[in-house]
């Protein structure tokens, strides 16, 4: 799967992912949100909001499945 396909289908793919894959996506989204919100040339409030939304969606999917571990 190409990287862009991953981002384009982020929300639609969540229900079909394994718990391990959801944990990976949570790490990706958290890191991207942190970088987008940070100081410097890469700062992008819009991107930070988008990644926080993706992070929230992953966490909601994990909760829906009853997974509460880190």
How far separated are the first and last CA of the chain, in Å rounded?
26
pTM of the shown model: 0.85
What is the maximum alpha-carbon separation in the chain? 39
Q: How far apart are CA 32 and CA 47, in angstroms?
A: 8
The stretches of 1-70 forming alpha helices (DSSP H) are 3-8, 10-13, 19-37, 45-64
Higher per-residue pLDDT: 5 or 35: 35
Residues contacting residue 6 through CB under 8 Å, at least 6 positions apart: 13
What confidence tens digit (pLDDT) does each residue in 22-51 have? 999 999 999 999 999 988 777 888 999 999
**Domain segments of the chain: what residues?**
18-70
Q: How far apart are CA 22 and CA 15, in angstroms?
A: 9
């Amino acid at each position: 799967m190409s990287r862009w396909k991953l981002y384009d289908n982020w929300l639609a793919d969540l229900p079909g992912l394994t718990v391990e894959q959801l944990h990976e996506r949570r790490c990706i989204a958290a890191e991207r949100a942190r970088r987008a919100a940070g100081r410097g040339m890469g700062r992008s409030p819009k991107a930070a909001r988008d990644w926080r939304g993706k992070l929230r969606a992953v966490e909601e999917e994990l909760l829906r499945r009853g997974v509460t571990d880190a």
